[in-house]
Amino acid sequence: MNILPTALFLMGPTASGKTALAAELYRHLPVEVVSVDSALIYRGMDIGTAKPTRQELGETPHRLIDIRDPSEAYSAADFRADALKEMADIVSRGRIPLLVGGTMLYFKALLEGLSPLPSADPEVRERIESEAVQLGWASLHQRLQQIDPIAAARIHQNDPQRLSRALEVFYISGKTLTELTQIAGETLPYRVHQFAIAPASRELLHQRIEARFHQMIAVGFEDEVRQLMLRGDLHTDLPSMRCVGYRQMWMYLNGEIDHDEMVYRGICATRQLSKRQMTWLRGWESVDWLDSEQLKNAMERVIRAISV
């Protein structure tokens, strides 16, 4: 009987204290940290993503940080492949993978696998968009209702991105989006202990988010985004520039909003992100909750769990 290797998940909303707890666990357990964060992958985006500092990374190395240029795309499938490779390397050296972050889609992809959806086809997508111009998205939505009524009921006719993707999947594969997403993905070959960390109250989390955003501005977030703008090859439709805070700072530097509005919108966007993360986590199965304000107790609970 093969015994699966152990892995730890440390999940939580933004500003919940994941990095601090990961550092404590790194000091007390034979773990190595793998970042599970769709913003920390980008080079040159350090302040606005709350990336661990150079000193923190020296003390607690993180894998899968600074692996993409902000002009590049990175998918959940890319993450899963990269994370599995890093986890296997960690286990081969007799240590435990500790996956830390707040990108819940990445955790889900890693834990459950990915349905075998076809890659995007620019020609097919262009054909769909041309039809949309001629016939209207409402007409294409009616077509989707005939092809895949379950997906059509879930996708609004005013959501061209998802509507286009559902049609594209059918045109490429001959199978509906509903059929393909029902195919089970490859599950994670590890014995996973899952933890979520958050403050006891939502108000405290909001205070931490606000304080951290102001701190980012104090240490040079504006200059960081200005340097990204000066490159000339980035824009606010890129996934990197859609990271919370970056779009709002870009708008401010572009003269579209004033400083106070940028701060207000940046904090609001971060709160909305934390709300979405908490919604994911409340529906997550087999997760042990830890209190951000009780770091020592949280660390002891993790240690106890993996020693069983």
The response to whether 18 counts as a known ligand-binding position is yes
Query: Which residues lie across from 181 on neighbouring strands?
Result: none
The response to whether 81 counts as a known ligand-binding position is no
Q: How far apart are CA 292 and CA 294, in angstroms?
A: 6
The response to whether 220 counts as a known ligand-binding position is no
The response to whether 176 counts as a known ligand-binding position is no
78-100 burial string, b = 16+ CB within 10 Å, else e?
A: bbbebbbebbeebbeeeebbbbb
Q: Is the Cβ–Cβ distance between 58 and 50 less than 8 Å?
A: no
The response to whether 19 counts as a known ligand-binding position is yes
The response to whether 30 counts as a known ligand-binding position is no
The response to whether 16 counts as a known ligand-binding position is yes
Q: How far is CA 304 from CA 25, 30, 238, 295, 307, in A?
A: 12, 14, 42, 14, 5
| 51: DSSP letter | P
The response to whether 174 counts as a known ligand-binding position is no
Q: How many CB atoms lie within 10 A of CB 285?
A: 6
Q: Which residues are annotated as a binding site for substrate?
A: 14-19
Q: Which residues are annotated as a binding site for ATP?
A: 12-19
Q: Which residues are annotated as a binding site?
A: 12-19
